[in-house]
Amino acid sequence: MKRAFTAIAVILLAAALQACAARADENIAPRCEITAQHPLPNALWTPVQVADGETGPIKGWLAYWGSSAKPWIRFKLPARATITGMEVMPATFPETGASRFSRPHLVTLEFFTGKNSEKLAFELSDDEQRFQTIEFEPREADEIMITIESVYAGGARISDVTGFQEVRIFTPGPAAPGDGKSAPPRNPDADSLNYDGAGQGAATGTLSSEEKEILDLLRALIEKLERRFLQD
């Protein structure tokens, strides 16, 4: 009995410590100054939207793929900080069908501290529906640049475009008081997209005929806008 009680106490303590650790992580990407490769293939998908906390329609950054320069996006941190990990979600637009754009495959992260820099390479999964965790030993940085070295182009209807819907950059935190931005969970499954529901984070649900009609109209409008911008 005593042994069972001790085991339960240890489990509860471990869970509590894990919860504290999760709370301590702060996503500082929204507070970074963000720049990216120019020109943009679509004026609706801007660099700043890669850290706006939104994963809904158009709320991401797109770049040209296949030109001589590889797509890059750079985050200037508010101040030098220890980076404990990152999460990325490929640019996605499931309302108009899966695999709309090419998905990032091999990426490099370059960490700048003063005049020094260090580059790490990572392979992402061909999964545009959820956040993917990028793990590395904690390291300091003033700026971080992500370069997309290769893509998964299979099935992409606009294969010369790639990007990210959202990027999270974690520091030990805690979050600055009063900034209104709480640290997101670091469980990739916790934030998987589900567009069957009425909005982001909806677990399950079906669309009414009226909602489907609105989505169809939105889809047609977005397709039209995209064609216009891609032509320009």
Residues in touch with Ca ion (CB under 5 A): 49, 52, 54, 59-60, 166
Are the beta carbons of 100 and 77 closer than 8 angstroms?
Answer: no
Smallest gap from residue 38 Cβ to Ca ion (A): 19
Smallest gap from residue 5 Cβ to Ca ion (A): 46
Smallest gap from residue 55 Cβ to Ca ion (A): 6
Cβ count near 15 (within 10 Å): 10
| Distance in angstroms (rounded) separating the CA atoms of residues 217 and 127 | 27
| Exposed/middle/buried for residue 62 (C-beta within 10 Å: 0-12, 13-18, 19+) | buried
**DSSP codes of every residue in 45-62:** S-GGGGGSS--STT-SEE
Task: Decide whether 49 or 99 has the Cβ nearer to Ca ion.
Answer: 49
Q: Roughly how many angstroms between the first and final C-alpha of the chain, as a whole number?
A: 73
| Distance in angstroms (rounded) separating the CA atoms of residues 159 and 203 | 30
Smallest gap from residue 166 Cβ to Ca ion (A): 4
Look-up of token digits 């495959």: 105
Task: Decide whether 112 or 183 has the Cβ nearer to Ca ion.
Answer: 183
Task: Decide whether 24 or 188 has the Cβ nearer to Ca ion.
Answer: 188
Smallest gap from residue 46 Cβ to Ca ion (A): 10
Smallest gap from residue 14 Cβ to Ca ion (A): 33
Task: Decide whether 59 or 70 has the Cβ nearer to Ca ion.
Answer: 59
| Distance in angstroms (rounded) separating the CA atoms of residues 37 and 62 | 10
Q: In what helix (H) or strand (E) does residue 2 lie, and over which residues does it extend? A: helix 2-24
Are the beta carbons of 62 and 45 closer than 8 angstroms?
Answer: yes
Task: Decide whether 58 or 175 has the Cβ nearer to Ca ion.
Answer: 58
